[in-house]
Each structure stands twice: as structure tokens, then as C-alpha cells.
Chain A
Amino acid sequence: MVEPTTPLLKVDNLTVTFGKGRHAVSAVADVSFEIYEGETLGLVGESGCGKSTTGKALMKIIEPSGGSIELEGVDITQQRGRTLRNSRTRMQMIFQDPISSLNPRRRVKDIVAEPLDCWKSVTGVERDVLISDLLTKVGIDPAVYGNRYARQFSGGQCQRISIARSLAMRPKMLICDEMVSALDVSVQAQILNLLEDLKQEYGLTLLFIAHDLAVVKNVSDRVAVMYLGRICEIGPADSLYDAPAHPYTKFLLGAALEADPDSPMHADVLEGEPPSPMNPPSGCRFRTRCPFASERCASEEPQLREVAADHRVACHFPLNVDQDEH
């Protein structure tokens, strides 16, 4: 894929720390990545890895403690008030819980029209046509369901309405925070297909945050794996899954349960529990559970470095790769 020179979203050393002093929780630590226009970056990791926090920090729902976020070249980290609200129209978010994403006391049509009404960008007949169009695109018949209250819909339908709402202002980027995790398998498939179609039609760029490895791979062009607030590995979806370079990624993929009775049973299961983000291990945060950990891993924190085309790993001893002498 030919990459344009300026990424749509450029994140540099993003840090989010909750609390202060001894009780500070380092949820996201020095996370950097870029997303180019038209691509989908998957952000995957287990609970506590900071992926949801990253998504929320990008939307400025949570205040970043450090680092910069550049959207179309403009740093939005320091923006406040009206400028921030303006920037937000270019980036939208879809949440995990479909039911609580919609105001139960408002009608579907009004919910989807809300962004337009906030900015008064489109009014009158044009507005109604736009709303009906959006609802139809996400598979909800506006004539039958448009005037119903949001509380009368199922999880899958609510998620469709959320998608319609987020597209009303034609954002350039959509952050999907675990958006299919609460849905049934068959509904999940419908929503994922819908997302793919809309991405093509609206020319969207996606950041897809999830914990389900198969779902993330299906949706993404590139995938970033997070562990305890840091990115371990980032690279093209297919090559990352076929040949992971970071030991954590390898374990993660090994643990994934495939719906195939012939899939190989992995004897090496990752033992133990993730350490507390209040007191992360020094150096490489994964070293306490990594079978390949050495002294260097404890003293020196590995930085992301390129090990293959567009494939970067934060590890001193990445797998399947010839080592440079240090």
C-alpha cells in the first residue's frame, strides 16, 4: 500500500497516568503510532493493557498526561473549548455497550440528527433526507423505526444507530472501542460487514480497539499489540499474525481459540497474571512472564524498532529475527 507522506493521525509519546505519587496508575506509557488515511489500525490486548484508555485519550475524553496527538497535522492535545469541539467533528467514537450509547428517552431520528443539530450545519428537508439516508445505510428502516425510542431496540440495532450517528458529520476517522464485544456472533458478523462497507463508501479511517484476535485481524490492515500500557509490536495484520516477533504476541495468538477441531493445541500457555499498572516492572514490562527474559530486559526498556517491512517490535530479543550485535 502506498503511504501518503502525512499520516491522518500521528500519536507521539502519548502518556496517560491516573492519580499521583505512589498510587499513580500508568495506564498508557509513551505510546506512538501513525494511522494513514483509508486504513484500519487494529489495537489489541488484554484487559488492563490501556487500549481503551488510548482510544479515549485520542478523543480527549480522558486528558492525556503527556505526548501529542496530531490530527491532519494539527496538534489537538492542547485544544480546549470551541476549537476542541470543532476538531472533534472530524473524529468520532463508537462505544462498547450499545444500550447505554443511546439516550433511552430520545427518538432514533433525533439521536442520529443530534450532531447536525448541534452545529446547525444542515436543516429542514435536507436534514430529514440525510437522516433517512443514514439510517437506511446502516440497515434500519427509517419509515418503520425512525420514530421509535432508543430503548426499544436490540443490541445489534443500537450499534447500527450509533454508527449512523457517528457518520452524520462525515468524520475522517472513527474509533471503535470494543464495538462488537457485547454482541452475539451472528450479529457481530453483520456489524463487521456493515463497518467494512461503510468504510469504503465514506472513505473512513478506523482505529479498531478489541480484545478478540480473530475479529481484529478480520477488520484491520495493520495491528498494534499492547501490553500494560505499552505497544509491543505493530505491523501488517497478516504478517504479524503469521510470524509474530514479540513473545507476548506469540503467546496471545497461541491462546486464541479457533473454531477448528484440528487446530493445534498449544502446550505452552502463558503463566501467571499481568502485573499491576500501579507498579509496572522496570525495563520491559513483559519480562516477568517472558520465558526469554534476561538481565538486559530488566535494566533497559526496549523501544520500537523495525524488524521487517513496516513491522516494528519493542523487544531486545524478538523472535524469528536475526539479532544485531549490541
Chain B
Amino acid sequence: MSGALLVVRDLATTFNTSAGPLPAVGGVSFDLNKNETLGIVGESGSGKTVLARTIMGLQSRTNATITGSVQLNGVETVGATEDEMRRLWSTEVAMIFQDPMTSLNPVMRIGKQIDETLRVRLAMSRSDARARAIELLEMVGIPSPAQRYNAYPGQLSGGMRQRVVIATALACSPKLLMADEPTTGLDVTIQAQILNLLDGLKERLHMSVVLITHDLGVVATRTSRIIVMYAGRVVEMGNTRDVFTNHRMPYTRALLESSPKVASPSHTRLTAIAGRPPNLLRLSDGCAFAPRCAFASDRCHQERPELQPSAESGHSFACWNPLDPTEGLSRG
């Protein structure tokens, strides 16, 4: 496992709120190899964003307790000081967020924002940084990069802004890119452009990418492995194809079946998941999904299932009454 770029073991983040401890992320373990794309899928409240921030070391420890281990290229980040993390940020690992308008400083020209990273982290001279910044803008597909260098974020469209954010993140050629909902909120055609761009850059820069999203469509064709999260824990994990076609955890099936498909005919009845996502402040001892699960047994309500391996290698799930491996997803 020492060849893995990112090694996460038993990572847990618990917020200390006035209403009690809130276990936003619990018991997450996975490996990420070089040049691999991992998808982390979950709805709001599943803990995926907190997980990403914890891995990045962005989760403040003033009101949160973080336990477990995260090794980035051999460097332990849980418990690391901000100075230690700063050495990793941008050069080893970078993150892009959902809303490009809040990721970019609206009163600073975009060229300068990219420059900043280059000059601080790579100690480039002003002219070198400018040249590299224009190169980066071109790499992310911004037309007339030399002119756009002087533009303000407000003058660019949403898709363009997200490209600038990507350029800034990749300025120092990090080995790992964490992308938290990078295309949510963008138009469908722009979304396709951005995802294609990320695919291309990944190849070109030999980068690993962690794609965090609630949209199964985004991860279906662009990731090699995915992790499904529910109520802060990993409920299923494996190769993308295995998880989509041979999933064992009922929540994964429910998630797949509840989203409408373009390929299905109109007026197809959706299989909605009953109830609402759990209140993390009042989690039971059993499986968090049990109250909404059609297959829940007594054991499911009382004892929380651990991840167990499935038939295919690398595929694991957390369920006491898993689906039969041949059932899979029925194609409409």
C-alpha cells in the first residue's frame, strides 16, 4: 500500500455543537493510487464535503475533533499544523469548490490571482509568473488568454470562472486534485466541457482526481472507482462498474433508481426513498439507513454493519441484508 498517493484510515470528524457531538464523518478508509480518479457520491448531509475538507486539512480544529490517519504521499496530515499543511497545499494537493464566484476574489484580476500562487509557492519572478499564468489560462481553454489575464471574475461567465479556478489550482502541478461539486450549478453543456477539460488535464499532468458530487451521472463515466456515503459513513465502495451494476447495499440501489434517466420513457414511475435523511445528532446504534430501508431487519436497527468484501476485488459494502449480486440495476 505504500505506493498509494493517498491513504485514509479510520478517518472521523466530529463537530462539537451546542446540541451535542455531531459525527459528520465516521470510520472512512480508502486508498487512492497515482493517476486514478475516485468518485465520492452522496446526498447533502452525507459528509462528503466534510470528508474532503478533512483530508485537505481545511477543517478547523476549534470546534471539530478529527481522529484517524490521512497520509498524503507518505506525509501524515491529521494533526499537522497549518504551516506543515501549507507546504502541501498547491504543490502536492489542490482543491476546487462548487461556486467559482466565491473561490475567486471578485476585486482582483484573474491573472494576478494565478500569479499569486506561482510567486508564493514556486518563487517565480513577476514576468515568469505572468507567462506561466497565460500558459495555464490557455491550457484550461480560455480564449485570448493574454487579454483575459487582466479581466475581473465578474466579467467572465460561470464556465469561464470555473476554468480559471482550475488553472489556479493546477498552477503548481499538484499530484492530487480534490474537486468538490465542480460542475453543480453550471449549464449542462458547460458541465460537459469542464468535465472533459478535467479528463484531459488529468492525463496531461499525470494527476489523481477525487470527484465529489451528488450527481451519479458525473461519476458514472469519468471515475474508475467510487465511494458511496450515507450519514457520514462509507456504505459501498468499489470499481465504478461494479458499484453501478452489481451493487449490494440497498441505499446504492435506491439512489440509482430514484434519479430519472434520459433513456427511460416519459412518465416512468420513480422509486422514491421513503422518509428523510437522518439527523446526525441522533444517530441510532444500528445502520443509519435502516429506518428507510425496505430490507431492514432487527439486526439492522441494532447493530451497525461494517464494510465487508463482495465477490469482485476491491468491492466492499456495509449491509447485513445485502442485495443478491445478480440482481443489480434493472435497465428500463
Contacts and interface: CB of A to CB of B under 8 A. Distances in A.
Does chain A touch chain B in the assembled complex, meaning CB atoms less than 8 Å apart?
yes
Interface of A: 46-47, 154, 156, 184-190, 192-193, 196, 211-215, 217-221, 237-238, 241, 251-261, 263, 265-266, 269-271, 273
Contacts of A156: 276
B4 to A, nearest CB: 23
Contacts of B195: 257
A187 B254 CA distance: 12
Contacts of A251: 189
Interface stretch (B15-23, B125-133, B239-247): B239-247
B272 A218 contact: no
Nearest to A220: B266
Q: Which of B189, B261, B269, B276 has the most CB of A within 10 A?
A: B189
B134 to A, nearest CB: 20
A160 to B, nearest CB: 12
B221 interface: yes
B191 A218 contact: no
Given A184-B43, A189-B271, A271 B193 contact: yes
Contacts of B255: 185-186
B297 interface: no
A237 B240 CA distance: 30
B38 to A, nearest CB: 15
B261 A260 contact: yes
Given A184-B43, A261-B240, A261-B241, A269 B196 contact: yes
13 contacts: A186-B258, A186-B272, A186-B273, A189-B272, A196-B267, A217-B266, A218-B268, A219-B267, A255-B192, A258-B262, A261-B244, A269-B189, A273-B190
Interface stretch (B87-95, B99-107, B211-219): B211-219
B263 A258 contact: yes
A59 to B, nearest CB: 24
A46 B187 CA distance: 6
Contacts of A270: 189, 192-193
Interface string B206-227: 0000000011111011000000
B188 A252 contact: yes
Nearest to B274: A190
Contacts of B196: 269
A218 B260 contact: yes
B189 A255 contact: yes
Given A258-B263, A263-B221, A269-B193, A186 B268 contact: no
Pick the 6 closest A-B CB pairs, nearest first. A257-B217, A259-B216, A189-B272, A189-B258, A218-B260, A255-B192
Contacts of B273: 186, 189-190
A53 B237 CA distance: 43
A206 to B, nearest CB: 12
A237 B258 contact: no
Contacts of B263: 258, 260, 263
A47 B245 contact: no
Nearest to A181: B185
Contacts of A196: 267, 269
Given A215-B260, A260-B244, 14 more contacts: A184-B277, A189-B258, A189-B270, A189-B273, A190-B272, A193-B269, A211-B187, A217-B260, A217-B264, A218-B260, A218-B264, A237-B266, A257-B188, A269-B189
Contacts of B70: none
Interface string B168-200: 000000000000000000011111110110000
Contacts, number: 136
B262 to A, nearest CB: 5
A225 to B, nearest CB: 12
Interface of B: 43-44, 157-160, 187-193, 195-196, 214-218, 220-221, 240-241, 244-245, 254-256, 258-274, 276-277
Given A184-B44, A184-B277, A211-B188, A256 B217 contact: yes
A109 B229 CA distance: 36
Contacts of B266: 217-221, 237-238
A211 to B, nearest CB: 7
Contacts of A259: 216-217, 220, 244, 256, 259, 261
Contacts of B215: 257
Given A184-B214, A257-B218, A189 B262 contact: no
A273 B160 contact: yes
B230 to A, nearest CB: 10
Contact of B262 (A46, A214, A265): A214
* Most B-side CB within 10 Å, residue of A184, A220, A265: A184
B20 to A, nearest CB: 19
Given A238-B265, A255-B192, A271-B193, A185 B221 contact: no
A174 B49 CA distance: 36
A228 B258 CA distance: 31
Contact of A185 (B43, B157, B245): B43
A155 to B, nearest CB: 9
B179 to A, nearest CB: 15
Given A251-B189, A259-B256, A261-B240, A241 B262 contact: yes
B188 A213 contact: yes
A212 B263 CA distance: 13
A261 B191 contact: no
A213 B265 CA distance: 12
